Amino acid sequence: MEKEELMRKAIKLSIDNVTNGGGPFGAVIAKDGEIIATGVNRVTTLCDPTAHAEVSAIRAAATKLGTFNLSGCEIYTSCEPCPMCLGAIYWARLDKMYYANNKTDAKNIGFDDSFIYDELSLKPSARKLPSEILLAEEAIKAFQQWTEKSDKIEY
């Protein structure tokens, strides 16, 4: 399939998802022009704040391909990804991202992620979400064990 067809599929998923009670977002992951997986926003239907279209598509593609590394694949998403989804796209190692609506379009209908971008630029002590370091000297043991592990799978 051509990239326009793949994007039209993501857009159709987003439109159909609104009709079916979900959020207005859809995503397609393709490899060599073939659809590997799709996802739609199911935050409210699943009561899962991480059930965004892109994350859902990544999970489905990784399961189908049997790998966490989706290099060689591209993602087509009906809207510019939020910070969580963008992070997931980077971690999945997708080769390219295409999107239709942008974050301003999303903000205009009530999906405003700008506060997260603002928070990320602040020191943890200045963020709205209170946080504190706790038991770091105990937690570091897992990192030390990971460093010493000879049969680890790097990601």
Active site residues per annotation:
54
Residues near 61 by beta carbon (within 8 Å), at least 6 away in sequence: 29, 36, 37, 70, 73, 92
Residues near 98 by beta carbon (within 8 Å), at least 6 away in sequence: 3, 6, 7, 74, 75, 76, 77
| Conformation bin of residue 32: beta by default, left when phi > 0, alpha when psi is -120 to 50 | left
Specify the amino acid at residue 109: I
Specify the amino acid at residue 84: M
| Conformation bin of residue 110: beta by default, left when phi > 0, alpha when psi is -120 to 50 | left
